[in-house]
Amino acid sequence: MAISRLFIANRGEIALRVLRAAQALNLETVIGVSDADRDSMAARLADRRLVLGPGPAAKSYLDARLVVQAAKASGCDALHPGYGFLSERAELARLCDEHGIVFVGPEPDMIEALGDKLRAREMAAAAGVPLVPGSGEIASAADARKVADQIGYPVLLKASAGGGGRGMVIVNGPAEVESGFNRASAEALAAFNDGTLFMERFVPEARHVEVQLVGDGKGEVVHFGERDCSVQRRYQKVIEEAPCVAMPAELRAQLHQAAVDLAKSVNYRNAGTAEFLYDVTRGEIYFIEVNARIQVEHPVSEMITGRDLVQEQLRIASGQGLSVSQDQITVSGHAIECRINAEDTRRDFVPVPGTITRWRPPEGEGIRLDSHITEGASIPPFYDSMIGKLIVHADTRDAAIDRLIGALDSFEVEGVPTTIPLHRAILKDPRFRSNTIHTRWLEQDLFASQPLAAE
């Protein structure tokens, strides 16, 4: 079905990103915003804005029926959910179907299947994709003890419906099993209304790598290379880069093939990301999960391939299929992205709403800023604290690091503290430069070796 008018069901930088991709394809745009975002940049640039409700997300961006009602009332024939909020809720995709609106994403049943980590593991296993040694559903602490004894400690208890590190607990030995099981189950139940757990072998010094995929829903899938997202805090990505130069070429080819095989096996439709752990010591990769949406870190893949992934989403949703074949996608140079958050790094990264009194972003060759912020903009207290993504591209990783340090040094933000000092500290650390990092490096090593200042 051809698309002519797109409803954007999100806010912040991703709303602006989707809006610009839609405009490049000559689509009309309508954005649904909360009252707190009625004067946002995306609201001003869209052809039309509709106020969904008051600032709290539960009364605006997270109300699926309200969102679809607004899309229908404004005559939109398609809806882009962005990331976060309702982007991975099957309910939204199902409501769009019921009202004759094209959902820019996978089918509802696919969203549900991939959102359940146990089912996703089953799908990956069926496609021959390597998994972390682990279990099916763990019903009790006694079961957890038996499985952990078989796998070998340390192990990781994970929520089947989980995400963002919630419901994940590391268990180092038999004495920690019962308390770990109870804590993980309680966190999962509180966060996802589903306390179902499973277990995996814990890899202490792993790298997080992921493959950017796009599928047409008819069995055709292409990848846009891999990203290395190993710099994390509390399981949240802080810096992402592409490609993963720490991975040997042969293993990289296996990684790409595994991701494509999985997506093809389920006729995946939309942009998506297959996430893996890279066990550097063993030289092996293990499937973690699939994120069935555009990712925050998609710009680094765009920078090394020269492709617009959001436009690709819109073409697929309109039935045009993939615009490129695999042999037309080439990787050039190195890209790094850091997330600029309005947080106070000295106070355990507490979010700081407020008004931006000075905003002087860096400019120059190989520098890209995805942001909805302007001088005088307010940061409401209702949403996440990200105010922009600074991305650089250069010929090599070393040159990209140097370019990003220069860009951060010239980035002037006043009115709220930001995570810019954290990114400087990471980029200037010799262990990051030498690429000898892992998913626990930031908290275990860098934070232990130096205090972080705030700006």
Residues annotated as catalytic are: 293
For residue 386, how far is the Cα from the chain centroid? Answer: 13
In the DSSP assignment, the letter for residue 43 is: H
Q: How far apart are the first and last CA of the chain?
A: 49
Backbone angles phi, psi at 73, to 5 degrees: -65, -30
For the chain, state the CA radius of gyration: 21
How many C-beta atoms lie closer than 10 Å to residue 278's C-beta?
Answer: 25
Q: Which two tokens stand for residue 188?
A: 């999962």
In the DSSP assignment, the letter for residue 40 is: S
| Spatial contact of 293 and 270, defined as CB atoms under 8 Å apart | yes
Closest CA to 148 of 104, 118, 179, 109: 179
C-alpha span between 385 and 388 (Å, rounded): 9
| Spatial contact of 286 and 131, defined as CB atoms under 8 Å apart | yes
In the DSSP assignment, the letter for residue 293 is: S
Q: Are strands 155-159 and 48-53 parallel, antiparallel or unpaired?
A: unpaired
